[in-house]
Chain A
């Protein structure tokens, strides 16, 4: 079971549905996360920009109010350093060395008047000067020696100098990175969870559909009493099961109807036939022999042909409706063919025909013995009736997996093209045929009833070929499935 279903599982509808559903879900979730992240990023930026603008104003205020003496640098530096401690998004661990903030005052002659921060003040200044800054608007500045850029706000003092307050974007980026990692993990989790849920649900639903399909295909020709499983729920799948069962009810009742009709037809015709035959036989023994007996004899023979025709046409009619009733027993097909060959060999030899029988080893099938006997007799009769003298009939019995193939081929004239498309129809016969034209239709009917199939064609080298495929054992899915497929045509 597992080896059989492992590969189809990948192609199963459940897998496909969950794959595409998860893909759509993953895409939209990703989109949502992307916009969320953008929003957070902008919000963080706005917050740090607000802080920067506020602080730079405070510092400018302090710088302007503080007298420009020797203490100026210390006072402003101190204030700048204090400001740096209130950096937003800051990690609590690294409060000792604060390298995320710098303060720089530039004179109107581009000289560094005051510097608070780590790293080289010159590098920072040149980086600032190389970056186009819009006054009073924080901008990104990349400083040599720092991996992450600084967000720098500036303000111009009345004395022509400019102060810059820079905040490293390191913390901001870290926060965003953490956010992204969490988003990603969450996203994976959600998608996986969604996939599993969708997969399990659809598989559960579809397994019910599969069970319905399996049991529907098991309900073959004869076994019409069983029904597909139904559930108590009232969903689409349950509706499917109920609908199928209602359909099976109707099929069963019309099949029953057909059986009643064919049975009563057979009965109503056979009873008078029996009476007629009996009376003919009695008058035959009474009128003794000679001239008088001849018409009675031929009447009896006609009657027997009529009876056989009646039997076969009813069988063909039932088989065409997939309603042939079978009583299956084990049949040794190879032995049966040997006996049949023995039976037909003298007649064939009389007509100058040769039979060659190629048998596989013991081939047993479960089939209706009476029907199989008649089917094989029909195959022999066909050859005997249609072949010109000096032809050879080759019969091959082979095992082909779960099936048995029985091939009758000859080197005669083959099927004439005008009957070729109608071979399996009732009442089709070749020009020289003296049968009642049911031969191949009957063979086809019997094969179909057993879940097999018949093909007939002309061989390339000339001559006709009829191949009968029969499943060896019944009750397997394969056998009845073939029957179903065939019935669908």
Chain B
């Protein structure tokens, strides 16, 4: 996967580049809009990360310009601004996504994956999900572990489904809030954690290998190995 990272803050560019490369992306970095435009035309990128506050041009202007030049790759917009601009919303509806700084790496990676998946829908959606001995029937909204039916509330099922779709990857609290509850908030209390504890109590019952692991300060991960 070829990724173009347009970010002027060298500190951020540096750690993003390293983390993205660790995650398996081939990263080219550009510190300004001019370089970005040149790189984008030359090399075929699968996905772009564009910071809104570039020294020579507004990030959105750059994206619109690249679209005019025929660059079709999806864009993840990084914004240090406080309010989400209407133009960003417009791009979001056009298939791109945005993330406000500061962000968790896991969330950045998840959003990149989503963008790539949205652009290459892999045929029919599966109706069943399987992670190790955990099995989800998406049509009947039923989950079982080692053949044993789990008594989940609808909300817990959605949460588990989200975990299964991201099995082996870190999901953060704000990702869970965004994807499962549909809101970008930062609660001051441990509301998400309590949901995970409850879910864990049902999925990882006594005597079984625990599947849902907590990575403190980062989020959670559903083991797939």
Residues of A that sit less than 8 Å from B by CB: 262-263, 266-267, 270-282, 284, 293-294, 296-301, 303-305, 307-308, 311, 314-315, 325, 327, 339, 342-344, 346-347, 350, 370, 373-374, 377-378, 380-381, 384-385, 435-436
Contacts and interface: CB of A to CB of B under 8 A. Distances in A.
A266 B217 contact: no
15 contacts: A263-B82, A266-B81, A270-B101, A270-B102, A271-B12, A275-B15, A278-B12, A278-B16, A278-B105, A297-B216, A297-B218, A325-B83, A339-B183, A346-B191, A377-B183
A275 B105 contact: no
Pairs A-B, 8 closest by C-beta atoms: A297-B217, A275-B11, A278-B15, A274-B102, A270-B80, A300-B217, A274-B101, A308-B186
B80 A346 contact: no
A443 B86 CA distance: 23
Nearest to B86: A327
Nearest to B172: A304
B99 to A, nearest CB: 10
B102 A370 contact: no
A53 B17 CA distance: 128
B160 to A, nearest CB: 15
A271 B101 CA distance: 7
B19 A343 contact: no
Interface residues of B, number: 40
A122 B59 CA distance: 121
A266 B104 contact: no
A10 to B, nearest CB: 46
B121 interface: no
B201 to A, nearest CB: 11
Contact of A298 (B9, B105, B195, B217): B217
Given A271-B101, A279-B15, 11 more contacts: A271-B11, A278-B15, A284-B217, A297-B218, A301-B217, A305-B188, A325-B83, A339-B183, A347-B190, A370-B184, A373-B183
Given A270-B80, A327-B83, A281 B198 contact: no
Given A278-B19, A347-B191, A373-B185, A273 B81 contact: no
Interface of B: 9, 11-12, 15-16, 18-19, 53, 80-84, 86, 89, 100-105, 155, 177, 181-191, 194-195, 198, 216-218
Contacts of A325: 83
Nearest to A346: B194
A220 to B, nearest CB: 17
A274 B195 contact: no
A272 B11 contact: yes
A404 B212 CA distance: 41
A385 B188 contact: yes
A305 B191 CA distance: 15
B19 A282 contact: yes
Contact of A311 (B12, B82, B188): B82
A374 B186 CA distance: 8
A267 B53 CA distance: 9
Contacts of A308: 186, 188
Nearest to B13: A275
Majority DSSP secondary structure for residues of B touching A = loop
For A307, A370, A377, A385, the residue with the greatest tally of chain B CB atoms inside 10 Å of its CB is A377
A381 B189 contact: yes
A279 B13 CA distance: 11
Chain A CB within 10 Å — which of B186, B188, B189 has the most? B188
A305 B217 CA distance: 12
A346 B187 CA distance: 14
Best-surrounded residue of B89, B181, B194 (most CB of chain A within 10 A):
B194
Contacts of A300: 217-218
B82 A343 contact: no
A297 B172 CA distance: 13
B164 to A, nearest CB: 20
A273 B102 contact: yes
Nearest to A289: B215
B181 A344 contact: no
Contacts of A266: 80-82
Given A344-B191, A347-B190, A350-B194, A281 B82 contact: no
Contact of A370 (B15, B81, B84, B189): B84
Interface centre among B9, B102, B189, B216 (most CB of A within 10 A): B102
A119 B84 CA distance: 107
Contacts of B86: 327
A304 B102 CA distance: 8
B181 A339 contact: yes
Contacts of B80: 266-267, 270-271, 274
Nearest to B51: A271
A327 B189 contact: no
A279 B83 CA distance: 25
B186 A274 contact: no
Contacts of A374: 185-186
A314 B18 contact: no
B189 A385 contact: yes
A428 B216 CA distance: 30
A241 B161 CA distance: 61
A432 to B, nearest CB: 14
Nearest to A438: B188
A179 B102 CA distance: 93
Contacts of A284: 217-218
Contacts of B104: 277, 281
Contacts of A278: 12, 15-16, 19, 102, 105
